[in-house]
Chain A
Amino acid sequence: MNDTSPLIDVRDLRVVFTGGKKPVEAVNGVDLTVARGESVALIGESGSGKSVTLRSLLRLHPERRTRISGGIRIAGHDVLALGSRPLADYRGKVASMIFQEPLLALDPVYTVGAQIVESIRRHEAVSREEARKRALELFERVRIPSPARRLDAYPHEMSGGMRQRAMIALALACRPQVLLADEPTTALDATVQIQILLLLRELQRELGLAILFVTHDMGAAVEVADRFAVMYGGRIVEEGPTREVIRNPRHPYTLALMQARADGAMTKGARLASIPGSPPDLANLPAGCAFAERCAYAREACLATRPEAVDLGTGHRARCLRTDATAHALQHTEAQPA
């Protein structure tokens, strides 16, 4: 593996849940790469397949009820081909995960310190004392006040922000190359959110991590991500450099998402824009573009075929037949007085 090849390389990922009456196609052909030291935000609403994609990278879905196909290569590991023991060795060591709600994702009856020590000793042959020393260093690194005392705290004894810091420390315990974050700031207060985002950004730069970051919060994504990938109906509908996507969205869904945001400049009493309709039924996906039903610019052609990615230059791609209409609409709204 040379240094320029991406750390995360996902090709045509498809995830189907077969547990229910009808198979649910949660992810339908996702292509995604994340380079070393790069941070990518996977954005979308509930049920867009973003968390499912993320969890597939550690193969955390119940094996019996899930069918995963396509290719996942992470730091040279063919993740879908790993046996159960190599898979366990890979999890936490090569790629690790930060969860949305650390209170639920940490074992309630073990101290946080014990859980970090357990993780280190699972992957490396070090003594308990040595592992504890490393856990203490990690706590200092994620800036938990009075770290030695906090190591002996149980998850429920910490505040939300502190718990998320502890979760990050746990995820970094075995010096992984890839960090997967599943809505890491959704459960936190606004003031704490920004601290956690800045910490993630800082750790990423210092450790050269590749971060794949799932969120539905555009504001949070802008803080951390170098690149945006917007998901809808189990596919990435638009991706590109953060500034480019924010300033120049070319998929109607991205545009609608941005318009649906409440920002500080909103006047009191103004209606928050929303997207009409509801996300597609993943057990019964339409033949054409999954967004067409809710799209203001949809044409006949949109209902017939799934659009291929249109290359818009500088790594900016959108899966839409009407990228010109979005561009036009954008100019139009910008001309309007705020």
Chain B
Amino acid sequence: MIFYLLRRIVYTVPIMLGVAFFCFLLVHISPGDPLVAILPPDASVELQRQLMTLYGFDRSWPEQFFGWLWRALQGDLGTSIATGRPVADEVFRAVGNTLMLACLATLIGFLLGSLFGFVAGYFSNSWVDRAASALSVLGVSVPHYWLGMVMVIVFSAWLGWLPPTGAGPGGSDQWAWDWAHIQYMVLPAVTMSVIPMGIIARTVRALVADILAQEFVVGLKAKGMTDSGIFLHVVKNAAPTALAVMGLQLGYLLGGSILIETVFSWPGTGFLLNSAIFQRDLPLLQGTILVLAMFFVLLNLLVDTLQTAIDPRIQR
């Protein structure tokens, strides 16, 4: 188990390097001059060159890459062109916000998705199954930004129960675990949870139906297990795959929530990426992508480890 873990951790190093290289490359081969956004239109060539030198854009790209990588390894992701603040600070504050939102959304999605999935799997081909399946297909296929706007219209504009946008009263940056702040999280989290809920429900339904058709369930009955006893066996058999799917979903939500974060003005990574792209803020873009990729890799590692702990058949 320990060797397995060590091996997995060593494997992540080349993956991370590859990811760093490709995100550097992608950002640099895309057209557009990053400095245009902050320079006044009538800026002198002299000033332009000064800034180029300051950000290192005048050097060859391998030089830039290794310089950036070396500094990144020391925790320095450069300075944002747009705000002039260190990229690392910006990214980690955004990651914190996104992580909170994504975890809550995944948790809601996982709980409801598992519930629907189990009910549908146990009563497969009944009306309950069809209703749960329809709901999950709806969850996967409804455009989430649209759902977000509908939620805002219903719960903020009509009912006035919850605030529509932001991450705290008065647009404050400081997060606190009190209702004044948490209420800002409810709408985006619920909207976001619809994505993993649909996928997890479908996965769990297929898993449960498959497990219930297996011979060992008959074996459990034959030794006198009651339905609740058999249920525990089904859960333990379904858990590894369901957890893996949940982990992947959390990974997607960490980076893939640009639309929802934009709709709700939630100051997370999606929001940050969005503004970095529009402002051609290369250091910020690069840093954000790198950190997100890191999270994805680490999350996969965590999920694989958990799976190995639950399912003995997976090679250690």
Contacts and interface: CB of A to CB of B under 8 A. Distances in A.
B216 A154 contact: no
Contacts of A157: 312
Interface residues of A, number: 32
A285 to B, nearest CB: 26
A85 B311 CA distance: 31
B207 to A, nearest CB: 13
Interface residues of B, number: 20
Contacts of A60: 218, 221-222
Contacts of B216: 104-108
A44 B214 CA distance: 25
Contacts of A122: 223-225, 229
Given A106-B216, A108-B216, A110-B233, A97 B226 contact: no
Taking each of A92, A101, A156, which has the highest tally of chain B beta carbons within 10 Å of its own beta carbon? Answer: A92
A144 B311 CA distance: 24
A93 interface: yes
Contacts, number: 77
B84 interface: no
B223 A170 contact: yes
Contact of A119 (B214, B224, B233): B224
A91 B229 CA distance: 14
A91 B221 CA distance: 7
Contact of B226 (A88, A101, A108, A110): A88
A109 B311 contact: yes
Given A60-B218, A99-B219, A110-B233, A89 B312 contact: no
Given A60-B218, A107-B237, A119 B223 contact: yes
Interface string B195-231: 0000000000000000000111011111111100100
A237 interface: no
Interface string A87-122: 011111100110101001111111100000011001
Contact of A107 (B219, B224, B226, B310): B219
Interface string A45-58: 00000000000001
A96 B215 CA distance: 15
A123 interface: yes
B241 to A, nearest CB: 11
Interface in A268-299: none
Contacts of A171: 223
B236 A109 contact: yes
9 contacts: A58-B222, A60-B221, A88-B225, A91-B223, A104-B216, A106-B216, A110-B233, A156-B312, A156-B313
Given A58-B222, A97-B219, A170-B223, 14 more contacts: A60-B221, A60-B222, A93-B224, A99-B219, A109-B233, A109-B311, A111-B312, A118-B223, A118-B229, A123-B224, A154-B313, A156-B312, A157-B312, A173-B223
Interface of B: 214-216, 218-226, 229, 233, 236-237, 310-313
Question: A-B pairs with the 10 shortest C-beta distances?
Answer: A92-B224, A92-B223, A105-B219, A104-B215, A91-B224, A97-B222, A154-B312, A119-B223, A107-B216, A88-B224
